[in-house]
Amino acid sequence: MKTKVIVSVLTIFSCYFLAAQSACSKYYPLEEGASFQYTNYNGKGKLEGKIDYNVTNVSNNGDTTTATMEMKYQDRKGKEIMASDYDFTCEGDVVKIDFQSLMNQQMMQQFAAMEIDVTGTDIELPNNLSVGQELADANVSIAADMGGMTMNMNVETINRKVEKKEKVTTPAGDFDCVVIYSENKTKMPMMGSKIFPSRIWLAEGIGMVKQESFNPKGKLTSSMVLTELQK
């Protein structure tokens, strides 16, 4: 069960990080006070929950902009089940997210009895995107001390590429997007290695507008759309 929760956390944030514009960011509104709400659905289109993001603490140092993204997740009944915050960094013409900052104590409090070490590389997204463009891979590794033994898990985000351009309509409006395809390759004890494809729709000045996740056989397992936007 704990392993499933860690994977869920990683999946949520590897997809939802694209919710954060400054002089160095073409796609993400790193503007203090900007807020976004996404609605989550399962593979059959049934409501699963909602995620609210709010941009705070924007600071500039030379050509680097850093902002904090506050996140609250509520289930389909409106009960808040997770709250967290993490940092975005925009440097030059690339936005980065620090995975270690996402795996904070609040999110991992259910593993209080376990010592967890998280390492990895940031996901990067440049301002200039064109169809067919390949993007850098990223990875996250977790080592959890289970009292006498260590559980190791690795999640690689691979085969990232700009797949196409597409217009998307959501309750928040109509958006011209680029579509980024990627695969999350997970390796866990007793589960082996599995690949989970996903697609993200990005709009300039907005960030993520839509996201779809699939199981290893290509069946849609969840989706998320932008339902509210305030800048």
Per-residue pLDDT of 113-150, as tens digits, reads: 567 777 888 888 898 999 999 999 988 887 877 777 78
Check whether 42 has a pLDDT greater than 90.
yes
Question: Which candidate, 100, 80, 180, places its Cα nearest to that of 140?
Answer: 100
Which is more confidently placed, 140 or 34?
34
Alpha-carbon span 192 to 128, nearest angstrom = 36
Instruction: Kindly state the average pLDDT of the residues 1-28.
Output: 49
Instruction: Kindly state the average pLDDT of the residues 25-35.
Output: 83
Residue that is written with structure tokens 């900052």 in the block: 101
Worst-scoring range by mean pLDDT, 32-46, 122-136, 139-153, 199-213? Answer: 139-153
Alpha-carbon span 27 to 199, nearest angstrom = 16
Instruction: Kindly state the average pLDDT of the residues 18-28.
Output: 58
Residue that is written with structure tokens 């996901």 in the block: 123
Check whether 10 has a pLDDT greater than 80.
no
Check whether 8 has a pLDDT greater than 70.
no
Instruction: Kindly state the average pLDDT of the residues 162-183.
Output: 96
Check whether 14 has a pLDDT greater than 80.
no
User: Nearest 5 degrees, angle CA 84-CA 89-CA 95?
Assistant: 110
Q: What is the pLDDT of residue 212?
A: 96
Report long-range pairs for 167-172 (Cβ below 8 Å, ≥24 apart): 168/201, 168/203, 168/209, 168/210, 170/209, 170/210, 170/225, 170/226, 170/227, 171/39, 171/225, 171/226, 171/227, 171/228, 172/209, 172/225, 172/226, 172/227, 172/228, 172/229
State the DSSP string of 102-152.
Answer: HS-TTTTGGGTTSEEEEEEE-EEEES---TT-B---EEEEEEEE-SSSEEE
Write down the pTM of the prediction.
0.80
Alpha-carbon span 126 to 61, nearest angstrom = 19
Q: What is the pLDDT of residue 175?
A: 97
Cβ pair 35, 223 in contact under 8 A:
no
Worst-scoring range by mean pLDDT, 95-99, 163-167, 175-179? Answer: 95-99
Cβ pair 31, 55 in contact under 8 A:
yes
| pLDDT digit string, tens, across residues 61-117 | 888 888 888 888 898 999 988 777 777 888 888 888 766 554 544 444 444 556 777
Q: What is the pLDDT of residue 89?
A: 87
Which is more confidently placed, 86 or 195?
195
Alpha-carbon span 191 to 175, nearest angstrom = 39
Give the up-direction half-sphere exposure of residue 214: CA atoms within 13 A in the CB hemisphere. Answer: 12
Structure tokens at 46: 């049934």
Q: What is the pLDDT of residue 228?
A: 95
Alpha-carbon span 177 to 215, nearest angstrom = 24
Check whether 2 has a pLDDT greater than 60.
no
Structure tokens at 189: 């004890």
Structure tokens at 103: 């795996």
Instruction: Kindly state the average pLDDT of the residues 29-41.
Output: 90
Q: What is the pLDDT of residue 18?
A: 40
Query: Domains of the chain (ranges plus CATH)?
Result: 2-230 (2.40.360.20)
Cβ pair 22, 34 in contact under 8 A:
no
